[in-house]
Every structure is written in structure tokens, then in C-alpha cells.
Amino acid sequence: MSPLLFLIILPLVAIVLILAGAPARVTSLLATGFNLIWSLLLFFHYDTVIGGWQYLQETRLIPQMGLNFTLGADGLSLTMLLLTTLVSFAAIWVTPKLERSPSLFYCCLLFISAGLAGAFSSLDTFFLYGFHEIALIPVFIMIGTWGSGDRQAAAWKATLYLGAGSFIVLLGIIALYLAAPSSMRSFDFRVMAELSQNEMSHPASWIYLILLVGFGTLVSLFPFHSWAPSTYASAPAPTAMLHAGVLKKFGLYGLIRLALPIFPAAVGRFSTLLLFLLICNILYIGYVTMAQRRLDWTIAYSSVMHMGTIFLGLVAFNILSLSGAALLMFGHGLSIAALFALCGALRSRTETLSYHELGGLAQLFPKASLLFGFGTMASIGLPGFTNFAGEILIFFGATATVIIDQGSLSFMIAIIAALWGVVISAIYMLRAYRAVFFGPLIKAEGWINTKDLSFYEFAPITMLLVVLLITGIFPHLILNLVNTAFR
């Protein structure tokens, strides 16, 4: 039996125990805490010399169709599993006391964690897709039930967009399966990756475009991005942490696993289109982010903007850029989760996140101010954080592609846009930091007795930021594993 199975089963066992009457918070913390320790053991036990797929388990279901329940992990999978367990544990830990259905809330978080673990450890596209859908369903419930603001509209918008994106991905997977010769049909993406486009019965370019649109919608690629800001701004903080930090990375992971290795020629053919879209993510969304006047909307839009830089790493399609994209996926997941956790803590104390109603909060909440400062520096790619190492590798990889293509104009424009995006992100994040924590204390009378972050809020956010620093100063801890997936 694969040790990866424990990462899927344990949250489900915790759900059963909670429904049977076990204390929800303690049970959830124990389950996600054990999963974090287990994923760390698997991460550091992975043999980078051998590389490839390890911790394998295969259960035959319908051999005639090539459908099996197969688990396994390489360096990229283990990195995403580590991200999943880190953010899951932190999201459970920072969850405040709930007045309405706390057991159901924790069960939804555990369900998301189990679905993510299954998606990142499945080698079969049928189960990779299925586990993602399992993780996605509780998100809608949590936004509609425990969200804030116009939560019903946000929940429905996310449902429509993400449901459509998932359906398009399903169409792409079915088309890919049917395009293979009957003797080679399999849902195992390792087998799919061995197909050459000449062996397919359908035009490979159309299948690639279907997968790009489907996965791109899940990642909030322009122009399929408008669901994300309202979803994150309305979602409870733990939900936003898990979705923006981890679940949204599934679309990028799917592209790396399916679209890029199977359709390398199509990637090159449509690179100009994808470069235009990612430039819109960086510049258009970046300027929209600068125009926001609420902290939650600023961070929500920033999450959409940073996806453009990761897409640049994917379309450059070399080991430098892909390794940088994977590293930035990990770093962005941790930094955005920490920022949304801090947003939730501030909202619970001030009942507003509007800039014109905030100011001078560093005087009341010095711990929150310190952590938000670190989260801001990580988000804008300050050296020493994981995000910086990932962005540098992406820029180097994209520049290498320009050299190989003898000065590809579209790539040069995209690199310049991505570099300018670093400046834009610094502007809106530093302005948000100043507006919220510095200047005169606007509502001193209303908040004077409000306490700073408790241990249960300070500790998990600090954990995420410490991991960002460790993997930023020593990025080889991630890269040694990730590079094995791109050899």
C-alpha cells in the first residue's frame, strides 16, 4: 500500500469521527498535523538520485478501458502535497470560534484537504479530475454559508465559472483518451505523455486549446478570471487560504502534467496567444489591483495577477522556467494563505477592511503589523523569500527561450511586462500596508480595547512565513525534488 494513501484517508476518517461526536477542532488539528508530518517524511525520504515516480500503488478497476486507481509521486507532486498539508494545517489552526455549525465547517475544510491530496498523488487522469471536484464542492458551501459581503452572488459566480472550467477540462480529458489508438488508450497520464501527436486521431492543437481554456479558467487566466476576486473577498479566511493557496494551483499542475508534455508543438504554436493572455493578467489585473480600496479585494486581485508570471514559466517551457514556476507556485501558495489569514484576523477585530476606515493599526496590533510586513515582502518578491527565487528562475528561463528563438518579440514583451509587474505589485502591496497599519489611528475609541493576534492566529501564520524564508534562502530544498520531474 502506498504511504500516499494515508494523506487521503486520514482527513476522511477525521470527518467520520467529527460526525460521530468527536471535538471538531481538536480532531481536525490532529488529522492535518499528522498529515503535515507525514508529508514532510515523504518529502525528505524521496530518492532524488533515482528520481521518477515513487511510493507507487496500482489497483486495477476496468483494465479494458485502462482505468486504474494509481497513486505515486515525483518531486513536483511531493512539493504540492507539502503545500497542501502546510496550508490545511494552518487553515484549521486559524479558524476562529464559530457560532453556526462549526462541525460542518471543519468537515468541509478536511474534505478540501483530502481532495487535494488525492489530486496531487493520482497518476490517473480520471481520479485526478475526480479528486479535484471533491475538493471544489465544499468551497461553494462555505462561501454561501459562512462568507461575508455579497456571499451568495460570489458563491454562484464561482460555481458557474469553476463548474464550466471543470466541464471543459473533462471534455479535454475525454478527447485525449479517444484520440489515442485503441491499443494505447489509458487514463494514466504517464502513458498519455508517451503518445506522439502523429498517433492521435484528432487534431492535437484543438485538444490542447480545450485543456488550456479549462485549466486556465480554474487558474483565473485572463479573460476567465472575474470569479476569483469576489470569491476570495467573500470567502471565510480558511477557505480563501485553501483555495487561493492550493486549490487554484491544480489548474497549473494539470497543464504541467497533461498539456505541456503531450502537446509540445501546440505549446509553441499558441505561445503568442498565451503570452498575450498572461500579459493581461500581469498588467491589466495589476492596474486593477492598484485601484482597489479594500484590503481583501487588493489581495484577491493580486492572487490573480501573480498567475501571469507562473504562466510565463510554463510557456517558456524549459527546465529553468518550469522549475521556477513550480517554486513560485509553492511560494505564492504560502504567502497568499498567510495574507488571507491576516485579513480574516483584521476583519474580525475591525469589522471593515476599507482603507478609508483603517489606519494606524500597528499601534494596536504590532504582531499583525509585523507578520503582514513579512507577507507583503514575500508577495512582492523580496530576496530571501521563495517567491523571489521562483521569479528569478522564470525570468532566466524565459530569457533563455528568447536567445534560442533568436529574439522572439512576444517573449521579450512578456518578460518586460513581468518585470514591470514586480514594480506594480510593490506599489499596491506597500500602499495597502501603509494605509492599514501606519498613519493616524482613525478609530481609536472603537478599537482601543481590541487585542492583538492570539497564539492560535500568530503561530500558524508565522509557520507559513518561516517556511517561506527557509525555502527562499535554501531553494535547493524544493528544486532538488522538482527538477527530477522535468529531466
Q: At residue 196, does pLDDT exceed 60? A: no
Q: At residue 39, does pLDDT exceed 70? A: yes
Q: At residue 120, does pLDDT exceed 90? A: yes
What is the pLDDT at residue 411?
86
What is the pLDDT at residue 326?
94
Cα separation values, 200 from 109, 175, 214, Å: 40, 10, 20
What is the pLDDT at residue 188?
80
What is the pLDDT at residue 176?
84
* Residues contacting residue 280 through CB under 8 Å, at least 6 positions apart: 222, 223, 308
Q: At residue 357, does pLDDT exceed 90? A: no
How confident is residue 443, by pLDDT bands cut at 50, 70 and 90? low
What is the pLDDT at residue 121?
94
Count of C-beta atoms within a 10 Å radius of residue 310: 26
* Residues contacting residue 322 through CB under 8 Å, at least 6 positions apart: 256, 260, 313, 314, 316, 397, 486
Which of these, 362, 342, 353, lies nearest to 462 by C-alpha position? 342
By mean pLDDT, which of 1-5, 302-306, 378-382, 449-453 is the weakest? Answer: 449-453
By mean pLDDT, which of 189-193, 445-449, 478-482 is the weakest? Answer: 445-449
How confident is residue 245, by pLDDT bands cut at 50, 70 and 90? very high
Q: At residue 52, does pLDDT exceed 90? A: no
Q: Which three cell numbers stand for residue 445?
A: 475609541
Residues 222-244 pLDDT 10s: 999 889 999 998 999 999 999 99
What is the pLDDT at residue 348?
86
- Judging by beta carbons within 10 Å of its beta carbon (0-12, 13-18, 19+), is residue 425 exposed, middle or buried? buried
DSSP string, 153-168: HHHHHHHHHHHHHHHH
Residues 131-171 pLDDT 10s: 999 999 999 889 988 888 788 888 889 899 999 999 999 99
Phi-psi region of 452 (alpha: psi -120 to 50; beta: other; left: phi over 0): beta
pTM: 0.93
Where are the chain's structural domains?
270-487
Task: Taking residues 349-369, report their average pLDDT.
Answer: 88
